[in-house]
Amino acid sequence: MGFQTVAAIFDLGKIDPIEILHFLVALYLSISLHEAAHAWMANRCGDDTARLMGRMTLNPVVHIDPIGTILMPLMQVVFSGLPLIGWAKPVPVNPLRFRNMRRGEILVSLAGPVSNFLLAAAAIILSWLVIAATRAAGPGAGPVAEAFLTFLFRLLILNLVLGVFNLIPIPPLDGSHILGVFISKEAAQKLERFLMPPFNFIILLFVVLPLLNPVFNLMFDAATFLMGVWWT
Within a domain: 27: yes
For 147, residues 6+ apart whose C-beta sits below 8 A from its C-beta are: none
Q: What range defines the domain where residue 65 resides?
A: 3-168+212-231
For residue 213, which of 176, 161, 169 has the smallest C-alpha distance?
161
pLDDT at 138: 67
Within a domain: 201: no
pLDDT at 79: 65
pLDDT at 2: 35
35 is an active site residue:
yes
pLDDT at 7: 45
Low pLDDT (below 70) residues in the chain? 1-16, 76-85, 138-141, 199, 201, 205-206, 228-232
| Helix, strand, or coil (residue 15) | coil
CB atoms within 10 A of CB 98: 19
What CA–CA distance (Å, rounded) separates 68 from 187?
A: 28
Within a domain: 128: yes
DSSP H or E segment with residue 31: helix 17-44
Within a domain: 17: yes
pLDDT at 16: 65
For 212, residues 6+ apart whose C-beta sits below 8 A from its C-beta are: 2, 3, 164, 168
C-alpha R_g of the chain: 19
Q: Which of 19, 35, 186, 192 is catalytic?
A: 35
pLDDT at 25: 87
Model confidence, pTM: 0.83
Is the separation of the CB atoms in 95 and 47 below 8 Å?
A: yes
Within a domain: 21: yes
For residue 165, which of 54, 3, 50 has the smallest C-alpha distance?
3
pLDDT at 74: 75
For residue 160, which of 190, 115, 107, 191 has the smallest C-alpha distance?
115
Within a domain: 197: no
Within a domain: 131: yes
- The tens digit of pLDDT for each residue in 137-178 reads 766 667 778 888 889 988 998 899 889 989 988 888 899 889
Number of domains in the chain: 1
Within a domain: 77: yes
Listed in sequence order, the DSSP H helices in 45-100 are 49-52, 72-78
